[in-house]
Amino acid sequence: MSETILVIGSSGQIGTELVEELRNQYGNDNVVASDIKEPQTPQKGPFEALDILNKEQLLKVVERHNVKEVYLLAALLSATAEKNPEFAWELNMNSLFNVLNLAKDGIIKKVFWPSSIAVFGPTTPKKDTPQYTIMEPSTVYGISKQAGERWCEYYYKKYGVDVRSIRYPGLIGYKSLPGGGTTDYAVDIFHQAIKHGEYKCFLNATTTLPMMYMSDAIKATIQIMQAPKENIKIRSSYNLAGISFNPEEIANEIKKHIPTFTISYKEDFRQKIADSWPQTINDKDAQEDWNWSPEYNLETMSANMIKNLKLIVT
């Protein structure tokens, strides 16, 4: 039986697009999608209903499909996690342990686990945030990502686990909906612009955050997993940069395509989360170690989002 790849949390914003691209590259039957939720799109390959907190169920799926690589995407994101801190900690940490332990036991060979810009906090330098800097996250989500990074590096150094990780910025795509983050506005704004011509933003006009178009994020994810082992010098998590912008700037970009579009602002609890995060990220280690470079800027991303969403959203 051939070796397969398992994506856990495949029905979410990233998983939906990652599974599609992995299947393009490795073949439909060689990529197993799994989630506690039904997929957002029709599946071209196997799908397993899997709760990542259930170790026995995980092992059964891994053995049934001869899984050797795992992409672990199941998590509670920043906004949802603040509403249920204890469960966020349980899900975000125990999911990681369940997968890292399979690798430690030699059952799987390689693991991808994403960290986030949320790993930084209010005391981190906000501009050109370096790979190594002050990290005092103030959200339960950020704390879980910081702890996760430490555990990834520990499992690599202590047990030789081949775990690879990226600190994703906020991700923007048209194929799937986001799942409860602070950067979700940057997806919703496109949907509302096309459907209603207006958007009420929960962040203020000048809140600059690091963001990235989904196709760049998928490219980076597969690129770091395919890189030779010796190139992966950072085993906590790599900084990754795409585009940085604020709500006013993205609204102005949308107006180039939809001139009547209007935006208004009403901050909610997510403003405080956003204020604790960096504005721009220095990702020179990812560039040097595994040849990372993004393709999309604000202009090309917005044009692509609007063109594709107009075909889908009614």
Contacts of residue 230, defined as CB under 8 A and 6 or more positions apart, other chains included, come to: none
Contacts of residue 10, defined as CB under 8 A and 6 or more positions apart, other chains included, come to: 16, 18, 19, 33, 34, 35, 39, 47, 73
- Distance, CA of 148 to CA of 198 (rounded, Å): 38
Q: Report 144-183 residues binding ligand NAD (CB under 6 A).
A: 168, 170-171, 178-181, 183
The number of C-alpha atoms within 13 Å of 128 and in the hemisphere containing its C-beta is: 1
Q: Report 144-173 residues binding ligand SER (CB under 6 A).
A: 170
- Distance, CA of 194 to CA of 246 (rounded, Å): 19
182, interface contact from ligand NAD, ligand SER, none, CB < 5-8 Å by kind: ligand SER
Looking only at the bridges linking them, the beta strands covering 67-72 and 110-112 are parallel
Annotated catalytic residue within 71, 132, 141, 155: 141
Q: Among 6-14, 131-139, 201-209, 283-291, which window interacts with ligand NAD (CB under 6 A)?
A: 6-14
The mark string for 176-215 relative to ligand SER (x by CB under 6 A, - otherwise) is -----xxx--------------------------------
User: Is 156 designated active site?
Assistant: no
Q: Is 78 in the site for ligand SER (CB under 6 A)?
A: yes
Q: Is 9 in the site for ligand SER (CB under 6 A)?
A: no
State the alpha helices, DSSP H only, in the chain: 13-26, 55-64, 78-83, 85-104, 140-159, 185-196, 214-226, 247-257, 270-275, 284-290, 298-312
Structure tokens, 35: 């989630």
Q: Is 220 in the site for ligand SER (CB under 6 A)?
A: no
Q: Which residues are catalytic?
A: 141
**Interface with ligand SER (CB under 6 A):** 77-78, 116-118, 141, 170, 181-183
**Interface with ligand NAD (CB under 6 A):** 8-9, 11-15, 35-37, 50-53, 73-75, 77, 91, 114, 116, 168, 170-171, 178-181, 183
